[in-house]
Amino acid sequence: MKFTNEQMERYSRNIILNEVGVKGQIKLLESKVLIVGTGGLGAPAALYLAAAGVGTIGLVDADAVDLSNLQRQIIHSTTKVGKPKVASGREAINDLNPDVNVVTYQEWVSSANITDIIKDEDYDFIIDGTDNFPAKFLINDACVLLHKPFSHAGIIKFFGQTMTYVPGQGPCYRCVFLNPPPPNTVPTCKEAGVLGVMGGIIGTVQATEAVKYLLGIGELLTGRLLVFDALEMEFRTVTLASRKNCVVCGENPTLKDLIDYEQRACEL
């Protein structure tokens, strides 16, 4: 492909990096990333991936923009309240970078649709920007079964965590967390609150992982969980091991069909 003068200028700070260069920028423009949830995590991740020139971005969210989202979901804005989040997200992305082809899925992910959504554009990388355990386990299991890399993240109050799964290169989310906690034993972000910047910090780490994976550069958070405490202002990484008997990625996997755990609705 040939760069237009506008693209040359838009992506100049990427292209000038030796680790990116012309080839890397073309790779990004030809890449496809699926972002599940356009909330606190998905909003900044989508914006940075769009800015970087990731050519196709899929957005999955059934929700409409609510005023209470705007404290952290910076892809949306006051004039978009009431609009479907995926439509609002698409407009913001195309305002930022018209090079990006935005594919929207106005639905919640479930065992019934997630495989089709991931296969729809044969996405290269998936970002879990959801806020509930059923969705997190579903995304993990679907990605493991489809051999797709993904970034997991969670934020609550002043805490955040993120890890990256790449097939064959370390543990999956289920290796580490086994099963969702029983419903009603953990607060959702709606009940517990979350500092707005948490999504910015952790969602931006997720976008960084996606870009690195797509370019094939650096060390990913595979086999490592990055934990961030905003009050102490401390980042730590915890080393994680694969579980041989993991039901989805282990030596004798028994989980072949996706599971819909009991869902607690919560705004992202």
Partner 1 sequence: MSKRDGFIDITDVICPITFVKAKIAMEELTSGEILEVRMNDGEPIQNVPRSFKDEGHKVIDVIKNEDGTFTVFIEKDGL
Q: How far is CA 57 from CA 109, 132, 178, in A?
A: 16, 22, 30
Residues touching Zn ion: how many (CB under 5 A)? 5
Q: From Zn ion, partner 1, none, which one binds at residue 109 (CB under 5 to 8 Å depending on kind)? A: none
In whole angstroms, give the CA distance from residue 36 to residue 126.
8
Contacts for 45 with CB less than 8 Å, ≥ 6 apart: 35, 127, 129, 203, 204, 206, 207, 210
Please select the residue that binds Zn ion; options are 76, 85, 152, 174, rule is CB under 5 A: 174
> In this complex, which beta carbon is closest to partner 1, that of residue 15 or of residue 211?
15
Residue 18 beta carbon to partner 1: minimum distance, rounded to whole angstroms: 6
> In this complex, which beta carbon is closest to Zn ion, that of residue 142 or of residue 189?
142
Q: Are 34 and 60 in contact (CB under 8 A)?
A: yes
Query: Judged by CB under 5 A, does residue 189 bind Zn ion?
Result: no
In whole angstroms, give the CA distance from residue 245 to residue 247.
6
> In this complex, which beta carbon is closest to partner 1, that of residue 7 or of residue 94?
7
> In this complex, which beta carbon is closest to partner 1, that of residue 6 or of residue 191?
6
Please select the residue that binds Zn ion; options are 175, 202, 220, 268, rule is CB under 5 A: 175
Binding residues vs partner 1 (CB under 8 A): 3, 8-9, 12-13, 15-16, 18, 21-23
Query: Judged by CB under 5 A, does residue 172 bind Zn ion?
Result: yes
Residue 177 beta carbon to Zn ion: minimum distance, rounded to whole angstroms: 10
In whole angstroms, give the CA distance from residue 139 to residue 118.
10
Question: To 10 degrees, what angle do helices 21-29 and 196-215 make?
Answer: 110
Query: Judged by CB under 5 A, does residue 246 bind Zn ion?
Result: yes
Contacts for 183 with CB less than 8 Å, ≥ 6 apart: 262, 264
